[in-house]
A = this chain, B = another copy of it.
Amino acid sequence: MIKCVTLGIMFVEAIVVLIRQSSHFRVTRALRPIFLVDTRHCGGVRRFIRQIFQSLPPILDMLGLLLFCVSIYGLLGYFLFSADPHDQHFTTLHDSFVSMFVLLTTANFPDVMMPAYSRSKWFSIFFISYLSIVLYVLMNLMLAVVYETFTRIEKEKFRKLLLHKRKACQHAFRLLVSKKDPNRMKFKQFAGVLRYYMPKLSTRDTVLMFKELNTSSSGTLSLEEFYSVYDAALLKWDAQFSQIPWFHTTWAPVQTMCQLAHDLVTWKYFEYIIYGLILSNGIAMIARIIEATNDLEESARAFSASWDTILFVGLYVLESLLKIVGLGIMQYFSSGWNIYDFTVTLAALLGVVILYFVPSFVYVVVLRPLRLLRLFKLKKRYRDVFGTLVLLTPLMCSTAIVMLVLYYFFAIVGMELFAGYNMRNCCINTTVEDFYKYSANGSTALGYYYLNTFENLMTSGITLFELTIVNNWFILMNGYASVVSQWSRAYFMLFYISTMIVLTIVVASILEAFRFRIQYKRQTSKREEEKMLHEEVHLKWEELQSWVQDFQLLEKLRQDLVVGGTATFIGVRPRNREVLQRRMYRSEIEDWMHEAELAEQSEGYIPSTDLGDGDDDSIATGSEQGVIADTVVQSDGYQRNVTINS
């Protein structure tokens, strides 16, 4: 709908431009990101936007309260200070309100207080009380309100998804069982529905999934067992014997060497040696900084390409090689920290090379100290922090895209409104005059503000970033207000409120993610987690024969399984949020399930109505199965909608 309307408006506008043969005020360009956001890859972005809209009511409520305080203080400020000709902040009621609004962001403090303060010290009470109430109490309460809304929505979403999946399982189960045995589902039907739900799943994995679900080992699934189908679908299966080292089949001398490297890197003191190495590198760096000279190139070379740098980088390279050889490339790069180490070491090596060939490119000095970050891993709290950062990465990307979309929108509007004005030496006789006073010889540190323009997308973006940071944003606002129009303030204030909303939600989501992680860690021991993320399944050939009953299928499975014996497989569950949530809220989940059951009973739910004839041999790919698959796929579609859109 939104896309259609936007497209319509854009089309009409294009025609208008074609007819009038001149460009006019074209804000619809600002709406273009809508088409970007509504693509398959921007699921996270849509979810974030939805979170923003869901958190809007509490934010708007709190904004109302804030504006009430701003108005009252604006009124009082006008009556207190407007009589003073030196005080330009409170000349009219409108000025007074703007000053108090800017003061809400602290950007014009203490300047706004100073004229009054020079008259009497006691006027400071007005400003101190205002900032204490608005900034320290109300703004923090706003964060609290948003945070509370945010966590509630998160939990509610999980609950709804869970109950919806349960419902989908019930529907699918009802359609998949036969009339003869309305309470048990056979393997054939299970495999049939999976062929639609997960078409890429191999036969082996289907069998393993069935076995995993069938906790009673009865050979048929009950509804209770089938409920876990979504959970079991997440598991990635691997034969148990895949845990042996990679060099197991190589040439004997290589094998001995690799074994030695393996023993070394898994030696318990190896990590400490590396930490010692990093620490001494840090000390060497500090020494290099202390003896730095005024010649930039020389000190850069001493810092980043001297003998000690080469020594330490060489040792790091050795460490990486040892680990890669000892653990195998796959296992080495499966750890985020190892990737970080490898990248930083490579970059430092590159830095040395660059400094030798292009000595003026001194910026690579920053590459050497990066490895020091590894030291922070030693402490548990930092591990939590970095872990949260990794967890937050997708969210951060979504936030970044949302911010970029917001920037794009406001940049386009800003360019339409403010492009082409020369701000140099503008705003004479206003409070921001000094900030725009350009002096060619550069004797003063101020006067650079004329650079903050809306000429093109890039400068607009940087100008908007300055507004996001809030500090001194009123200089830009007042500058454009005096050059363009008093009404342009609305643009800046709206932008401030928009970014404030987005940033409050960012803070709330960081808080939520961190607390979730910490509480999860506290409730779950390392062993419990391992057990939760690893499922072991033992497949007996005889047992398999009894419930598969399909010769062709058994033939296919022959290569993966031990014929006549038992094969063990390990299923690894991804450590995604939903899986962790299921563990975290396990007591609540029980309550919800119980509630759902009560509701079903009061609705008079009879599990054996509406049965498809699952026993008919020919229908494994028949229309009934199609319907069943539809139900599941449909419900899964809803699920994906819930997880992606919301």
Residues of A within 8 A of B (CB): 58, 61-62, 64-65, 68, 71-72, 75-76, 79-80, 82-83, 86, 88, 93, 106-111, 113-115, 117-118, 121, 124, 128, 131, 135-137, 140-141, 143-145, 147-148, 289, 292, 296, 300, 362-363, 365-366, 369-370, 372-373, 376, 379, 381-382, 384-385, 388-389, 396, 430-434, 442, 444-446, 448-449, 451-452, 458-459, 462, 465-466, 469-472, 503, 506-507, 510-511, 513-515, 518, 587
Contact = CB atoms under 8 A, between A and B. Distances in A.
A148 B380 CA distance: 14
B121 A370 contact: no
A423 to B, nearest CB: 13
- The interface residues of chain A, by DSSP majority, are classed as helix
A445 B432 contact: yes
15 contacts: A62-B385, A76-B365, A88-B445, A110-B449, A111-B446, A111-B472, A113-B466, A118-B448, A124-B462, A128-B462, A144-B515, A145-B384, A145-B385, A148-B518, A471-B471
Contacts of A82: 296
Nearest to A384: B145
A306 B62 CA distance: 32
Contacts of A365: 75-76, 79
Contact of A385 (B141, B433, B515): B141
Nearest to A80: B363
A339 B148 CA distance: 29
Contact of A110 (B76, B466, B507): B466
Given A61-B379, A448-B115, A458 B510 contact: no
Which of A110, A115, A451, A511 is the most central at the interface, judged by chain B CB atoms within 10 Å of its CB? A110
B110 A472 contact: yes
B469 A110 contact: yes
Contacts of A362: 79
B143 A511 contact: yes
Contacts of A289: 75, 93
B442 A141 contact: no
A356 B459 CA distance: 56
Given A75-B366, A141-B385, A147-B515, 16 more contacts: A65-B385, A71-B369, A79-B296, A110-B469, A110-B471, A111-B472, A117-B448, A124-B465, A128-B465, A131-B465, A136-B506, A137-B510, A141-B389, A143-B507, A144-B515, A145-B385
Contact of A434 (B68, B445, B510): B445
Contacts of A109: 466, 469, 471-472
Contacts of A470: 106
A95 to B, nearest CB: 13
* Most chain B Cβ neighbours within 10 Å, of A141, A143, A462: A141
Contacts of A363: 76, 79-80
Given A137-B389, A362-B79, A145 B434 contact: no
B452 A511 contact: no
A645 to B, nearest CB: 25
A89 to B, nearest CB: 8
Contacts of A135: 469
Given A68-B373, A452-B110, A459 B121 contact: yes
Contacts of A141: 385, 388-389, 510, 514
A83 B299 CA distance: 13
A289 B96 CA distance: 13
A443 B441 CA distance: 23
Nearest to A432: B445
A514 B148 contact: yes
A296 B442 contact: no
Contacts of A300: 79
A366 B76 CA distance: 6
A72 B503 contact: no
B389 A507 contact: no
A388 to B, nearest CB: 7
Nearest to A388: B141
A86 B465 CA distance: 23
B76 A140 contact: no
A587 to B, nearest CB: 8
A453 B140 CA distance: 30
Nearest to A126: B363
Task: Return the 9 tightest CB-CB contacts between A and B, nearest first.
Answer: A114-B448, A144-B514, A431-B445, A76-B366, A106-B471, A140-B510, A110-B466, A79-B362, A144-B511
Nearest to A475: B110
Contact of A145 (B107, B124, B381): B381
A459 B120 CA distance: 11
Nearest to A125: B462
A500 to B, nearest CB: 13
A362 B83 CA distance: 11
Contacts of A64: 376
B121 A458 contact: yes
A49 to B, nearest CB: 18
Contacts of A137: 389, 396, 510
Nearest to A57: B381
Contacts of A515: 144, 147-148
A462 B385 contact: no
A376 B507 CA distance: 26
Nearest to A89: B445
Given A79-B365, A369-B71, A111 B510 contact: no
A633 to B, nearest CB: 36
